Amino acid sequence: MPSFGRLDKISHHEQGAAFAAEGHARISGVPGVALATSGPGATNLLTSMGSCYFDSTPAVFITGQVNTYELRGERGIRQLGFQETDIMSMVSPITKWAVQVQAAADLPQALQRAFREALEGRQGPCLIDLPMNVQS
């Protein structure tokens, strides 16, 4: 695994963070990384994610999500948890690989796979969706 540089600037908006990650990857060849909260924060990454996909730019996007026990699942409701958004459905057409991590023990493997997928073959973006109780 290559060593990764660090951006010393903090973004004030998720879309800016996503475009900074994309720019970093384009310049360095190392996957850029951007983080966002759930709901509208996660959807703010979509434009850059699509750009990375169409231009074969490696990136790893990490989004927050409501607790696993608050996911609406098959319930016939719009949402159960605050700002719950089915980001996995939204990103499936514009990512090489996307996963919602269900247990903290699965996170290291998910991170490794995301970086590997972003760099192997035709490069592109990956997404890791992290529910709050997994983050804790």
Per-residue pLDDT of the chain (136 residues; tens, 9 = 90+): 444 455 556 678 899 999 999 999 999 999 999 999 999 999 999 999 999 999 999 999 999 998 888 877 777 776 777 787 899 999 999 999 999 999 999 999 999 999 999 999 999 999 999 999 999 9
The pTM of this model reads 0.88
Question: Which residues, at least 6 apart from 64, have a Cβ–Cβ distance to it below 8 Å?
Answer: 36, 37, 38, 41, 42, 129, 130, 131, 132, 135
Phi, psi of 35, deg, nearest 5 = -115, 145
Domain range 14-135, its CATH number among 3.40.50.970, 3.40.630.10, 3.20.20.10, 3.40.50.720: 3.40.50.970
Q: Could you tell me the residue ranges of all domains in the chain?
A: 14-135
* CA separation for the pair 100, 133 (Å, rounded): 12
